[in-house]
Amino acid sequence: MRILVVGAGAIGGYFGGRLMQAGRDVTFLVRARRGRELADAGLVIKSPKGDVTLSDPATVLAEDLTDTYDLVLLSCKAYDLDQAIDAIAPAIGPSTMILPLLNGMRHLEVLIDRFGGSHVLGGQCMIGATLNESRAVVHLNETHLLTFGELGGGLSARIHSLAGVLGNAGFDARPSEQIVQDMWEKWVFLATLASSTCLMRAPIGDILAVPGGSDLILALFEECRNIAESEGFAPRAEFVERSRSMLTASDSPLAASMLRDIEAHARIEADQIAGDLLRRRRSAPSGHNRSLLVVAYAHMKAYEARRARTLAAEPR
């Protein structure tokens, strides 16, 4: 199976690198700068699961992409989706599978509209990873799970085939019969985590240490959970229990990657994680309760506005 990994950043670099390490046929679709970095230093992964340096990974620039691939692993940031879609178009053949690992849900609608539903799978990953100053992929925890499945549910022949390719490749690969449900549950958790830790500019443990911190986190979780339920994807009891436990663990260092991005003055996925969830809300919280998700989203957008203003004022 020929695999095109879109991007060689933290997510694409990790999963694509592990696949390459396992002997799979992997090519990275990269920008020119990243291509030069990989040619010079190789793809470097630093991980509790084992470090590796992969010399001379196969790369291709968008303007040079002409071949079609069996699998396109879409690992870009959600705000880069439109650009990525244009870039991968030449790689999509009659039976190409597109496996997106983006946050939120709107990317599924966009991909289906462009390429048709038969090409698009559901997917998600659970991993903490970043690029360090030397542009190595740094795996931050023990979790490295990739889940995938048919949007319509069930386990098809191609999902079984894909499981054989992604399995035994140095990370946990799990086919799912209910991938859309899985994706909604991840979205609920991520929106809660990003909204709370970015709003308070602190990890979970520090928020819990202040008066009202636990109430704020759990109220955000309930608001996000209610939106999922109104869309027909009520989070399952096991997920709710596990999430509440993680979100109320004292001294927890857990924080959203969006908080790291804010602290690094980088771009964030405000619209994809919080904004699109609010767009799907059927009704506002009742009574005198104010929507904490609205407040968190406004906080994210204010950060984006300030960042844009600051960048515009910098000398060219």
Instruction: For tokens 């019969």, name the residue.
Output: 177
pLDDT at 230 over 70: yes
**46 labelled catalytic:** no
Query: Residue 315's pLDDT band (boundaries 50, 70, 90)?
Result: confident
pLDDT of residue 237 exceeding 90, the answer is yes
Q: Where in the chain is the domain with CATH 3.40.50.720?
A: 2-177
Q: What integer pLDDT is reported at residue 282 of this predicted model?
A: 80
Q: Which of 46, 49, 186, 301 is catalytic?
A: 186
Instruction: Name the superfamily (CATH) of residues 182-313.
Output: N-(1-d-carboxylethyl)-l-norvaline Dehydrogenase; domain 2 (1.10.1040.10)
d(CA 68, CA 201): 44
> Does the predicted model carry a pTM greater than 0.85?
yes
Q: What is the pLDDT of residue 112?
A: 97
Instruction: Kindly state the average pLDDT of the residues 98-123.
Output: 96
pLDDT at 288 over 80: no
Mean pLDDT of the region 9-18: 96
Question: Residue 290: what pLDDT?
Answer: 79
Residue intervals in the chain for CATH 1.10.1040.10: 182-313
User: What is the enclosing helix (H) or strand (E) of 103?
Assistant: none
Q: In which band, very low, low, confident or very high, does the pLDDT at 316 lie, cut at 50, 70 and 90?
A: confident
At a CB cut-off of 8 Å and minimum separation 6, what does 65 contact?
29, 87, 88, 90, 91
pLDDT in tens, 290-303: 799 999 999 999 99
The answer on pLDDT for 283 being more than 80 is: no
Q: Is residue 61's pLDDT more than 80? A: yes
Q: How confident is the model over 146-172, as pLDDT tens digits?
A: 999 999 999 999 999 999 999 999 999
Q: What is the CATH number of domain 2-177?
A: 3.40.50.720
Buried b (16+ CB within 10 A) or exposed e, 52-61: bebeebebbe
